[in-house]
Amino acid sequence: MRYFTFRKTALAVKKPWQVLRFTAGKGYWLFGLRPKPVGPIVMYDDVNVSLIPKNAQAVAGYVGGRWRTFPILKKMFPTKPVLSIAVTADEDADCLDVENGDATNAQAVGWAKRQLANGRKSVTIYSSVANWPALENVLVRAAVPRSRVKRFTAHYTGKPHLCTSRCWTGFTGTADATQFTDHANGVSLDASLCSPTFFVP
Domain coordinates in residue numbering, the chain = 1-34, 37-194
Question: What Rg do the C-alpha atoms of the chain give, in angstroms?
Answer: 17
CA distances from 199 to 55, 80, 82 (A): 18, 10, 9
Helices (H) and strands (E) in the chain, counts: 4, 10
- pLDDT at site 201: 80
CATH number attached to the domain at 37-194: 3.20.20.80
- pLDDT at site 34: 75
CB count, 10 Å around CB of 9? 14
**Confidence (pTM):** 0.81
Q: How confident is the model over 86-107, as a mean pLDDT?
A: 97
Confidence of residue 36 (pLDDT cuts 50, 70, 90): low
The answer to whether the beta carbons of residues 161 and 179 sit under 8 Å apart is no
Confidence of residue 161 (pLDDT cuts 50, 70, 90): very high
What's the one-letter identity of residue 51? Answer: L
Torsional class of 129: left (φ above 0), alpha (ψ -120 to 50), beta (otherwise): alpha
The answer to whether the beta carbons of residues 124 and 95 sit under 8 Å apart is yes
